[in-house]
């Protein structure tokens, strides 16, 4: 997976375990930096995958047959995210004699000195000389992508009656619960929202929503004007965001909230049972800055600012890379 090559741009590897939330952040940064990049999805062997990164011996030899290969020539830049990618980035940086500029997204469970640059969301407490702090997570969303995705689904989304409300439903994770009672409450609130506003729903659910909850959601939507993406065929996620007059998103996903805010839409966060310090700090920060509001079953007349963190982080990261490259060239 790679964009159309830009021969003058640095060569980059995006290294993750293939998780969509991690990969999208890395790809979003690479795209915003206008890099020519290759996505490397890695799978690692036991017991190494369970060990802290600094304890790995010969990390590059611990890749499974199902993993993408990591062999020379090394890239100019590595953008990584996730625990499994850390030993790979550290090893390649050392093997390249420090020539490969390494960027890690999210707090690593190793020293920040193992990377040239670390990008963390504000609600993480990690700080340091080579740490950049973003409001929310990085995304692949920009005006061009939203417009192009809208065009792909123009036939399906033509003629929708405003207001259009996109609903992004997540589910249970380590911090939040989504039981049947919570889904029932969400369904009731969506009915109230439609009754109060006359809105048309564009809805997606995730794997974490669960089969029972998803069926309950589908059953409720049958009574309401809607389009529900069932996971078959091309994903209209970005097109749903572009088409929205407002977005309702469940509280369990920093990525989904950040993506909706980056699209510049009014974002209503639907509460779920649970939470922790990081999530609570994230949601407070987003509300304080005007990107989100707590869900109410009505649409308010407000214009939300557009979250532009991926572009901002990309600009800083590219300047850091240029400084790194000049120092490398002078040392030759």
Q: What pLDDT digit, counting tens, does each position of 3-33 carry?
A: 444 446 899 999 999 998 899 999 999 999 9
Q: Please indicate, yes or no, whether residues 210 and 240 belong to a single structural domain of this protein.
A: yes
Q: Please indicate, yes or no, whether residues 98 and 158 belong to a single structural domain of this protein.
A: no
For residue 132, what pLDDT is reported?
A: 98
3-state secondary structure of 160: coil
Cα atoms in the 13 Å half-sphere on the side-chain side of 43: 5
Q: What is the DSSP letter of 307?
A: P
Indicate the number of domains in the chain: 2
Does 2 map to a domain?
no
Q: Please indicate, yes or no, whether residues 211 and 156 belong to a single structural domain of this protein.
A: yes
Placement of tokens 């792909």 in the chain: 152
For residue 9, what pLDDT is reported?
A: 81
What domain range is 202 assigned to? 143-294
Q: What token pair was written down for 154?
A: 């123009």
d(CA 100, CA 236): 36
Q: Where are the alpha helices (DSSP H) in 101-179?
A: 143-152, 154-157
| Ranges of the chain with pLDDT below 70 | 1-8, 332
Supply the angle between the helices 277-288 and 254-262 in degrees, to the nearest 10. Answer: 10
Instruction: Kindly report the pTM of this predicted structure.
Output: 0.88
Handedness of CA 47, 51, 56, 61 (dihedral sign): positive
Does 6 map to a domain?
no
Cross-strand pairs, 118:
104, 131
Q: Please indicate, yes or no, whether residues 216 and 128 belong to a single structural domain of this protein.
A: no
d(CA 216, CA 47): 40
CA-only gyration radius of the chain, Å: 21
Cross-strand pairs, 78:
13, 102
Q: Please indicate, yes or no, whether residues 129 and 149 belong to a single structural domain of this protein.
A: no
Q: Please indicate, yes or no, whether residues 320 and 211 belong to a single structural domain of this protein.
A: no
Q: What is the DSSP letter of 226?
A: E
């Amino acid at each position: 997976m790679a964009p159309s090559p830009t021969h003058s741009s640095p060569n980059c590897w995006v290294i993750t375990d293939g998780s969509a939330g991690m990969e999208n952040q890395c790809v979003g940064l690479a795209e915003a930096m206008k890099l020519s990049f290759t996505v490397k999805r890695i799978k690692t062997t036991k017991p190494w995958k369970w060990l802290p990164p600094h304890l790995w011996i010969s990390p590059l030899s611990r890749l499974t047959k199902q993993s993408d290969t990591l062999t020379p020539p090394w890239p100019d830049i590595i953008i990584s995210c996730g625990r499994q990618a850390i030993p790979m980035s550290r090893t390649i940086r050392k093997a390249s004699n420090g020539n490969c500029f390494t960027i890690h997204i999210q707090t690593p469970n190793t020293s920040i000195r193992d990377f040239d640059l670390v990008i963390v969301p504000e609600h993480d407490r990690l700080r340091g000389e080579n740490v950049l702090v973003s409001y929310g997570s990085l995304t692949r969303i920009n005006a061009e992508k939203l417009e192009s995705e809208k065009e792909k689904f123009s036939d399906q989304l033509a003629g929708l009656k405003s207001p259009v409300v996109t609903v992004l439903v997540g589910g249970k994770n380590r911090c939040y619960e989504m039981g049947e009672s919570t889904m029932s409450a969400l369904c009731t609130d969506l009915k109230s929202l439609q009754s109060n506003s006359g809105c048309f729903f564009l809805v997606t659910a995730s794997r974490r929503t669960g089969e029972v909850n998803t069926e309950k959601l589908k059953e409720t939507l049958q009574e309401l004007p809607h389009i529900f993406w069932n996971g078959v065929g091309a994903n209209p996620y970005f097109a749903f965001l572009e088409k929205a007059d407002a977005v309702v998103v469940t509280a369990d996903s920093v990525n989904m909230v950040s993506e909706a805010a980056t699209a510049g839409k009014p974002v209503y966060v639907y509460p779920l049972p649970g939470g922790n310090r990081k999530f609570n700090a994230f949601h407070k920060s987003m509300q304080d800055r005007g990107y989100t509001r707590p869900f109410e079953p009505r649409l308010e007349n407000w214009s939300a600012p557009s979250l532009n963190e991926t572009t901002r982080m990309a600009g800083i990261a590219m300047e850091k890379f240029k400084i790194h490259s000049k120092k490398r060239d002078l040392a030759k």
